[in-house]
Amino acid sequence: MKKVSRRTVLASAVGAVALHKTATTAAPQAPSDSTKATGRPSSTLGQRSSFEQPKRLTGGAAASRTPHQDLTGMITPSDLHFERHHAGVPAIDPRRYSLVIHGLVERPMVFSLADLRRFPSISRICFLECSGNFNRTAGPETTPQALAGMTSQSEWTGVGLATLFREVGVRPAATWFLAESQDAAVMARSIPVAKAWDDAMIAYAQNGEAIRPEQGYPARLLLPGWEGNANVKWIRRIELSDRPFMTREETSKYTEPLSDGTIRQFSFLMDARSLITYPTYPATLTPGWVEITGIAWSGSGLIRRVDVSTDSGKTWTAAALQAPVLPKAHTRFRHLWNWSGREAVIMSRAVDETGYVQPTRAELIAARGPGSLPYHLNPIVAWVIRSDGTVVYREEAWG
């Protein structure tokens, strides 16, 4: 057995600390025997191992995408949750924060953050997804993150919007409400009141801590299963009305021209979708057993089934769903496959509890027309496993 001197132990410990500080600039290293070196002391804030370095992928100043290929389970770490904003992330002092609810109500009221926290809290695990979450120009060297990284999942905690509506006494004539943001874009959307009575909430916590600023700190509107844009962040005002407000974001934006010349408006619901996260680019396989894994979700409720094809859609096999399977939530699926070493094309399709089946690209275009771009696109996509084991995204033209 090789003896280790005190000097060697100390040098290893110092080296570990130095490597920790430079983890972003140098390849991480560790002592050859961790039992021979004192580890890091306790700290006020936990951090990932330097060997684990997942990152969001930025798409300009207004968006970043979740690295689905690097994650397991169903909860997205808060710092890897995708972000999308229209005028940057505002800095809001929680001590000065307020939410006003007025309009067609009996008692207009202003709630501080402390007021919101005094109400009975509720928690819910659900996904959020940008309605533009699809890269139509993706090439072969595209990861799941670059393809569809603008969906993430958290445990959200807050107060039910129905509780606040009962507090202010929403009048029967009120059928819509305006949700307005405190950001520089003054983001605003019209939302049917029925959603408030169903499952909407004002969320102030995410995964056990205060909501991250990119996600709406100190409070946001949460509409489970509905397009991300309608889940107004940094919410400051709710106005009740008997009609929609026709804001900029629901007239000139977030509407979809259809092939028959009409416009689809207020298309809140996010349809069922699935995404294989492994094997995908840039993985390399060797012949033998491979576990195909991914996530599926639907704004309509539960995922009932995910089918996987390993022959470009000629045949399909039901994958196993990993518990828990929750409504309006990312559900992980897995399918064991024996790869022969010959070129293959793998695909997945989701089926939700309403019977809705995730469409092919051709079916989606036939139903909506090519003018429906760029919102609410959820086509089945494919990954090509080449005979040398490399995996690439199957590029397809839209149209």
Sketch out the chain's domains with CATH numbers.
78-264 (3.90.420.10), 273-393 (2.60.40.650)
pLDDT at 253 over 90: no
Which pLDDT score is estimated for 366? Answer: 84
What are 349-358's pLDDT values in tens digits? 999 999 999 9
User: Of 47, 50, 49, which Cα lies nearest the Cα of 25?
Assistant: 50
| Burial (Cβ within 10 Å: 0-12, 13-18, ≥19) of residue 314 | exposed
Q: Is 15 exposed, middle or buried (0-12, 13-18, 19+ CB in 10 A)?
A: middle
Residue 119 CB coordination number (10 Å): 15
Confidence of residue 259 (pLDDT cuts 50, 70, 90): confident
Task: State residue 392's pLDDT score.
Answer: 98
pLDDT at 22 over 50: no
**Cα–Cα distances in angstroms (integers) from residue 123 to residues 128, 156, 233, in the given order:** 15, 5, 17
Q: Considering only CA atoms, which of 363, 131, 360, 150 is closest in space to residue 256?
A: 131
User: Mean pLDDT lowest for which of 18-27, 109-118, 247-256?
Assistant: 18-27
Residue 179 pLDDT more than 70?
yes
pLDDT of 16: 41
Question: What is the per-residue pLDDT across 157-178, written as a single tens digit (0 to 9) for each?
Answer: 999 999 999 999 999 999 999 9
pLDDT exceeds 80 at position 2: no
Statement: residue 17 has pLDDT above 50: no
pLDDT of residue 262: 82
- What is the percent of the chain where pLDDT is above 70? 92
For the record, the structure tokens of 128 come out as 């959020």
Q: Quick one: 324 exposed, middle or buried, by C-beta within 10 A (0-12, 13-18, 19+)?
A: exposed
Rounded-to-10 torsion of CA 86, 91, 97, 103: -10
User: Pick from 254, 127, 243, 126: which is nearest to 192 by CA?
Assistant: 243
- Rounded CA gap, 103 and 109, in Å? 10
Taking residue 285's Cβ as centre, other Cβ atoms within 10 Å add up to 17
**Cα→Cα distances 33→30, 43, 269, Å:** 8, 23, 53
CB atoms within 10 A of CB 118: 10
pLDDT, tens only, 262-310: 888 999 999 999 999 999 999 999 999 999 999 999 999 999 999 999 9
Please, which pLDDT band fits residue 399 given cuts at 50, 70 and 90? low
What's the pLDDT at 33?
92
Looking at residue 5, its pLDDT comes to 52
Q: Among 334, 378, 383, which residue's Cα sits nearest to residue 360?
A: 378
Residue 215 burial by CB count (10 A; 0-12/13-18/19+): exposed, middle or buried? Answer: buried
Residue 25 pLDDT: 54
Q: What is the mean pLDDT of residues 50-67?
A: 94
Question: Quick one: pLDDT band at residue 371, thresholds 50, 70, 90?
Answer: low
Q: Is the pLDDT of residue 257 over 80?
A: no
Do the Cβ atoms of 122 and 378 come closer than 8 Å? no
Angle formed at CA 74 by CA 285 and CA 162, multiple of 5 degrees? 155
Residues contacting 85, CB < 8 A, separation 6+: 62, 63, 183, 185, 214, 233
Secondary structure percentages of the chain, helix, strand, coil, to 5:
20, 30, 50
Q: Is 285 helix (H, G, I), strand (E, B) or coil?
A: coil
Distances (CA, A) of 267 to 225, 253, 364, 397: 12, 12, 15, 25
CA quadruple 150, 145, 372, 328: dihedral sign:
negative
Three-state secondary structure call for residue 389: coil
